[in-house]
Structure 1
Amino acid sequence: MTDYFIQAFIYLIAAVVAVPLAKRFGLGSVLGYLVAGVVIGPMLGLVGQETTTIQHFAEFGVVMMLFLVGMELDPRSLWAMRVRLIGMGGLQVLITAAAGTAIAWWLGLVWQASLAIGLIFALSSTAIVLQTLNEKGLTKTDGGRSAFSVLLFQDIAVILMLAFIPLLALPELAGEGGNYAEHGSLSLVEGMSAWLHGLVVIGAIGFVIVGGYYLGPLLFRYVVSSGLREVFTAAALMLVIGIAALMGLVNLSPALGAFLAGVVLANSEFKHEIEANIEPFKGLLLGLFFITVGAGIDFQVLASQWATVLALGVVVIAVKGVLLFGLATLFGVRSSNGWLFTLSLAQAGEFGFVLLTYSVQSNVIPFNVSQVLSLVVAFSMFVTPLLFIAYDRLVLPRYQTTNNNKRDADTIEEQAPVIVAGVGRFGQVVCRLLRANNIPIVALDLEIKQIELLRYIRIKSYFGDASRSDHLETAGIAHARVLVVAIDDRERAVDMVKHVKHYYPNVWVLARAFDRGHCYQLREAGADDVTREVYHSALELGGHTLTAMGVHPMRAKQMTDAFEQHENAHEDVLFEAWKEIEEGISFSPRYGELFMKLEEALSTSMQHGVEKPNQEDEPTWTPPEQAPEGNR
């Protein structure tokens, strides 16, 4: 028992020390985990043969990650990405597999082994890419969504690869994989005919979808009635583990099954609670997986074959990069998004280790070749965080220095009942308040830095011009309940309100105004509710000023409330007067005369209309000390 505690302590202390250091130097958590694995494994020898076993267990972190990713989508969003899922993902796998096959055959391997190697290196690392995109707030970018589409197709393709690889078996390798093989896993479909196998697979997928939709809510309502949080956590884990086990029993990808279950539960009332309970386990298991990748590097093979490993690793990244960049251009993923898509998927993936092991067991790839290829896979995964750093420091600054208006707008693939146009200092507060209350929103802005900030705190936001009707339509204005207009251009804001209220009169429009005149323009355009951006903060500060001058806080609050009530009571009078003025507020003596009369009424209200608080109702309060005469 003590040995397990010591091993767990070694893995945990490696993560605790290395990851914060990597984050501090801007290297990302994934690279920190990989370095930690190299230090405790090949360098210090603190961990050994158990690494492979732990890695299989830690791969469950990928399953949990895809479950959580699925919960961020819904069937409508999944259908919207079908072109990139099938088109871009399918082409990527086919073209990359063909290129890998050609290179392996050119290097002297038989065509069967070459084809298996091509399939292996067509895959990318779901764990590293999604984790890093999530950390950097890039999952909602055009490049991030395209990368996710390809990764999802790759996870589906793994199923077909596992079925196809045994057909490539080489008689001369018979028996070579014996020492490398593992105990077979339990399967319900082993020995079944093809048509019966297909029916079982369809039944399993149908059970996940139907059961998740109908039985999932019943399960969580039953668990919630117990009032025990730990039971809810157990139920969430039971759901994910059970789906993974079911998929494994019918020879499907557990990650794919978990993703489907997440999509089914995306609109569940328990969505946020499930995410909160699963997230810590996902993070720990993914971190453990990355550590085992670093710890599993065989330095003896690396020392004897380092030149080959380095050369092949560079070739893999370069060839995949060229092909991915071509696909990005073909599917319209341009500028920095095209580079993000290219650099994020240029590596081999964790499923490469699985397929290499399976290929040796199936007598397709020689054992000595698989050892070198395993190092190539690990090397490419190790380099991936560095590619993301290159994207941050070399690619993004180049595109951010150009005019943002020339940047291609993001493809909006998600909709919400609330659309926020403009996410500057005003719009951000609105977004955070809505997000804190679990109200779905879609935010649009032309300032890329503001968009990236919101993505970092997991608010759906897109680069685009909200005043353009096509962008609003894509964001779902036809089905939205509320539109918040907080853009920094007065005229565009007014035009936008006019357009929306004309074509979508049922949408409730709330707008930010810069001043009183802009407030009236927005009201005239049809806005249902208008707030001046500095009005309430200035009123609050005025109340603090009264308190600082010795007015009791309760009386100061009454006076500010009376001020606001007076403003609201006469707002319509001023608005009607403004509509009759052609030259505007600043140039109209008639408006100024009316305004001054209302100011006199306000002063009278302040002096006589506000009752002083009763002595017994006043809390204990000491007025601020007066400043010395010389400082006044």
Structure 2
Amino acid sequence: MADAASHASYLPSILTFCAGAVVAVPLFRRFGLSAVLGYLAAGVVIGPSALAVIKDPDTIRSTAEIGVVLLLFLVGLELQPERLYSMRKDILGAGFAQMLLSAAVIGAVAWKLGLSPAGALAVGLALALSATSIALQLLEERGDGAEPYGRRCFSILLFQDISIAPMLALLPLLATTEAAHGGGSAKALTGLGLALLAIAVVVLAGRYALNPFFRLLAKTGAKEVMTAAALLVVLGAALLMEQVGLSMAMGAFLAGVLLADSHFRHELEADIEPFRGVLLGLFFMAVGMSIDLKLVAENALLLALAAPLLVLFKIAAAAAILRASCSSTTEAIRAGALLSPAGEFAFVLLPLAASLGLLNEKQGALATAIAALSMLIGPIAAKLIDLWLAAHAPPPEEIEETFDGVTPSVLVIGFGRFGQVVTQALLLQHLDVTIIDSDIERIRSANKFGFKIYYGDGTRLDVLRAAGAGKAKVICVCIDDRQAALRIVEMAKAEFPAARIHARAYDRVHAMDLMRADVDYQMRETFESALGFGRVTLEALGLSYEEAGFVIEHVRDRDAQRMEIQFSEGIAAGIDKVPRVTPEPIIAPKSKSKPLTKETQDVIEDGGAEVAVGGVGEPAE
């Protein structure tokens, strides 16, 4: 009974976290604010400074930090080499300039206010970062992700995401360097050597071992094993980095980058995402619990000045840099407003700096409070700026839209025989195609086509989203599992209404099920091939190409008419029990069939009572 009681003692804390998230996050989102703010507010309320439901936030911090680790892994998964190369000018230009200018000015102010040089640098780096979750959410709400200012804003955020890992590595080295002045230089060099060795181990393992490892596990077909393997790789790399004095997040980031081009990337992303969301929310609640409201009240005037000034400075700095890089004034200001709140990783860097002795307790608490307040003020400032710009903007010019050169995006689910033939036509037009399949051998075959290819289960909504179904123009469901195909069609119609859904039908009944699911186009897998076969046969019997084509077209039209009637009235109208689907001729034959043996005659007579409701050449079910 004692063991049961000890296990039950965890339940009140878990229920408290769940209740705080369920209440606070929807409330903040309803007012157009970030979910991060909801988690922070919930943490403040249940923390020791308010209701004190949770008295010691440090007890959950180590577990909650796994959310940051998983977030860095997902950031690394997005950093494919070709994507980085196409955005190199904005990333290395505007991104580097924004970070350098913001960190230098903020760090200089912090140094003037009495912080040590290392502490001022930590504060400058932390507050120079921007809130990726807030900026991307606002861009998505506006539908401006593809706009020039949206792309440049994303490039700056991407540079910041890339720079997080070096920052996390830099802070322990700063602390070690300061210790080195006290006689620990040999220890500092040893630590640096171990860190470089650990990085080399992770890189080599990721380059030569991870893909074969996941390929071997994928052959087992056990989805839960793939999830366990993903967590093993991420947390293993994180633990290795922690053991050599670097941050766990850096190890996860490296693992993500090394898997960015893997065929298993989207499956890994879908597996990790639920853990990342829950644990990252817990992390922000832990940060909220660590905010000392008494300290905030004692320094209310300082915070009331510092947080708005930080937001205004970051707007001005980002806008000036973007304006210098040929963005218009309006676009530069809008992007600057999106980049003005302090980033989520300020709540990682500042506590880390405090734990390393770069900041004292009060300095760390004040810097964290400034970051939290900027996340509240920044989105409000962005909306106010949008309203002001809209009120003073000139009337838009009428521009004739052209779609020349636009490449449609196609998501093909299933790369078996049917999917391979479908993609041949797409390949000839050099279209943007993504393949999803859960068969390792098919994945290897698809690699020859030059498409984006990912291992994953196409019936999972998270896998479809990770593979870009939300941006696809057409989703082609080419799998041979009837029920799975229906699930995908129904899910895609509900979740991705902008995409056309084309589906492979197994037979006539399956085709009508797909039609009821409101699929945009369906084709029975053997229908057109059988018609082509019949056409060649007619030509072999003496008909011309045109005559054979006329006959086949007539068969196709009659079958379409019958399909429409059966779809509207039921495949066996008036019969309560669903019958077997049997072949039926479209037109009445000129003569009766002639059985050539007695056995054949007996078979025909035994089956004569069956109801014929099928289509052209459909097999009996």
Confirm or deny a common fold (TM above 0.5). yes
Query: Pick from 214, 217, 222: which aligns with 1:223?
Result: 217
Look up the equivalent residue of 1:331 and give its one-letter code: S
Cα shift at 1:422: 11
2:45 aligned with 1:39: yes
Q: Aligned in 2, Cα 1:432/1:45: closer, same or farther, shift over 3 Å?
A: farther
Pair 1:241 & 2:227 matched: no
Partner of 1:505: none
Which digits, 9 at most, give the CA deviation of each residue in 1:375-428, with x for residues without a partner?
212222344554566688777999998458599x9xx9xxxxx941799xxxxx
Q: Work out whether 1:12 is the aligned partner of 2:18.
A: yes
Report what 2:301 is aligned to: 307
Q: CA deviation at 1:89?
A: 3.5
Matches within 5 A, 1:40-439: 40-41=46-47, 45-105=51-111, 107=113, 114-125=120-131, 141-142=150-151, 143-164=153-174, 191-192=186-187, 194=189, 197-332=191-326, 338-339=332-333, 341-353=335-347, 355-357=349-351, 359=353, 365-386=359-380, 402=396, 419-420=407-408
Measured after TM superposition, the shift of residue 316 of structure 1 is 1.1
Q: 1:372 to 1:32 in 2, by over 3 A?
A: closer
| Deviation at residue 149 of structure 1 after TM alignment | 1.8
* 8 Å contact from structure 2 (residues 315, 333) kept in 1: no
Partners of 1:10 and 1:46 within 8 A in 2: no
Aligned mates of 1:28, 1:374 — CA distance in 2: 17
Structure 2: distance between partners of 1:610 and 1:311: 82
Deviation at 1:15, TM superposition (A): 1.3
Choose between structure 1 and 2 for higher RCO, CA contacts under 8 A separated by at least 6 residues. 1
Alpha carbons of 1:68 and 1:397: their partners in 2 closer, same or farther (altered >3 Å)? farther
Hey, what's the Cα distance between the residues in 2 that align with 1:247 and 1:74? 23
The residue number in structure 1 matching 2:564 is: none
SS in 2 for 1:375: helix
Which of 23, 27, 33 is the equivalent residue of 1:27? 33
Say how many residue pairs are matched: 473
Letter in 2 for 1:346: S
Deviations 1:565-603 (A, max 9, x none): 79x99xxxxxxxxxxxxxxxxxxxxxxxx9xxx89x959
CA–CA distance in 2 between the matches of 1:164 and 1:46?
35
Tell me, yes or no, if the aligned pair for 1:244 and 1:257 is still in contact at 8 Å.
yes
- DSSP-derived class of the 2:367 partner: helix
Shift of 1:51: 1.9
What pairs with 1:461-610 in structure 2 (closer than 5 Å)? Answer: 610=586
| Whole-angstrom CA distance in 2 between matches of 1:320 and 1:620 | 71
Q: Relative to 1, partners in 2 of residues 1:225 and 1:458: Cα closer, same or farther, differing over 3 Å?
A: closer
Matched AA of 1:156: P
Is residue 93–residue 154 contact of structure 1 (8 Å, CA) maintained in 2? no
- Following superposition, the deviation at residue 23 of structure 1 comes to 3.7
Distance apart, 1:283 and its partner CA:
0.8
Q: Distance in 2 between matches of 1:401 and 1:290?
A: 43
Q: Which amino acid aligns with 1:118?
A: G
Change in CA separation of 1:44 and 1:619 when aligned onto 2, cut-off 3 Å: farther
Q: Deviations over 1:277-298 (max 9, x none)?
A: 1111011011112222333322
Q: Assess, with a 3 A threshold, how the Cα gap between structure 1 residues 157 and 356 changes in structure 2: closer, same or farther.
A: closer
Please state how far the C-alpha of 1:372 moved relative to its aligned partner: 2.4
* TM-score, L = length of structure 1: 0.59
Partners in 2 of 1:338 and 1:406 — Cα distance?
A: 25
Gaps of 5+ in 2: 1-5, 412-425, 439-445, 453-463, 475-500, 503-507, 516-522, 536-545, 560-583, 590-606, 615-621
Counterpart CA distance in 2 for 1:137 and 1:51 is 38
The SS at the match of 2:57 is helix
Q: 1:257 to 1:380 in 2, by over 3 A?
A: same
Structure 1 unmatched runs, 5+:
175-188, 413-417, 424-429, 443-453, 463-482, 485-532, 535-539, 548-556, 570-593, 622-632
Instruction: Report if the CA contact (8 A) 2:80-2:261 is conserved.
Output: yes
Query: What is the RMSD computed on CA atoms of the aligned residues?
Result: 5.6
Q: Could you tell me how far 1:252 is from its partner in structure 2?
A: 3.3
SS of corresponding position for 1:59: helix
**1:505-530: per-residue Cα shift (whole Å, max 9, x none)?**
xxxxxxxxxxxxxxxxxxxxxxxxxx
Kindly provide the amino acid, as one letter, of the partner of residue 303 in structure 1. A
Which piece of structure 1 moves more, 73-82 or 1-10? Answer: 73-82
C-alpha spacing 1:115/1:239, structure 2 compared with 1 (3 Å) = closer
Once residues 303 and 159 of structure 1 are traced to their aligned partners in structure 2, the CA distance between those partners, rounded to angstroms, is 34
Per-residue CA deviations over 1:290-336 (Å, capped at 9, x if unaligned) read 22233332221222222211211111111122111222223345577
C-alpha distance 616-422 of structure 1, shift in aligned 2 (>3 A): same
Alpha-carbon deviations, 1:28-69, whole Å to 9, x = none?
A: 433332333233336851433432442343232222122123
Structure 2 counterpart of 1:123, one-letter code: L
Distance in structure 2 (CA, Å) of the matches to 1:606 and 1:134: 47
Separation of aligned partners in 1, 2:384 and 2:435: 32
The amino acid of 1:260's aligned partner reads: L
Deviation at 1:339, TM superposition (A): 4.9
2:409 and 2:433 in contact (8 A); partners too? no
CA–CA separation in structure 2 for the residues paired with 1:119 and 1:437: 42
Code of the aligned partner of 1:29: A
State the partner residue of 1:445.
none
Contact 2:230 2:268 (8 Å CA) reproduced: yes
Structure 1: distance between partners of 2:394 and 2:43: 35
Residue 408 of structure 2 aligns to a residue in which SS? strand
CA contact (8 A) 2:191 2:245 kept: no
Q: Amino acid of the residue matched to residue 39 of structure 2? A: Y
Check conservation: 1:42, 1:299, Cα contact below 8 A.
no
Alpha-carbon offset, residue 257 of structure 1: 3.0
Contact 1:343 1:391 in 2 (8 A): yes
Structure 1 distance, partners of 2:391, 2:432, is 27
> 1:104–1:30: structure 2 CA closer, same or farther, 3 Å change rule?
closer
Is the Cα contact below 8 Å between 1:122 and 1:348 reproduced in 2?
yes
| Alignment correspondent of 1:611 | 587
Contact (CA 8 Å) 2:71, 2:276: kept in 1 or not? yes
- Which AA in structure 2 matches 1:151? D
Q: Is the 8 A contact 1:66 1:259 kept in 2?
A: yes
Q: 1:208 to 1:400 in 2, by over 3 A?
A: farther
| Contact map agreement 2:80 2:257 (CA 8 A) in 1 | yes
> What displacement does 1:7 show?
0.6
Separation in structure 2 between the aligned mates of residue 159 and residue 351 of structure 1, nearest angstrom: 13
